[in-house]
């Protein structure tokens, strides 16, 4: 069997983090859900934790990301 690290180049934690952030991006751009609702859907118990993680991943807060990509 091929392990995750060999097939993706990432460990499990980084891989799942990326999946969660990409789902967050999808929800931000394609739904009217609030940042708090998106945070909860992604499994974050604290919205601020999601916001920090999102900024680490994208360089922008979720609100900034949504505003900057409104017409995409």
User: Residue 64 and residue 59: Cα distance in Å, rounded?
Assistant: 9
Predicted TM-score (pTM) of the model is 0.87
Helix (H) / strand (E) containing 25: helix 12-30
- Quick one: tokens of 24? 């967050």
What is the token pair recorded at 45?
């118990």
Largest CA distance in the chain: 43
pLDDT digits (tens, 9 = 90+) for 14-52: 999 999 999 999 999 999 999 999 999 999 999 999 999
């Amino acid at each position: 069997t091929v392990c995750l690290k060999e097939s993706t180049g990432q460990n499990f934690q980084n891989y799942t983090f990326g999946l969660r952030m990409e789902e967050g991006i999808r929800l931000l751009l394609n739904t009217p859900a609030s940042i708090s609702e998106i945070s909860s859907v992604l499994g974050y118990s604290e919205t601020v934790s999601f916001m920090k993680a999102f900024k680490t991943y994208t360089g922008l807060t979720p609100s900034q990301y949504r505003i900057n990509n409104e017409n995409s």
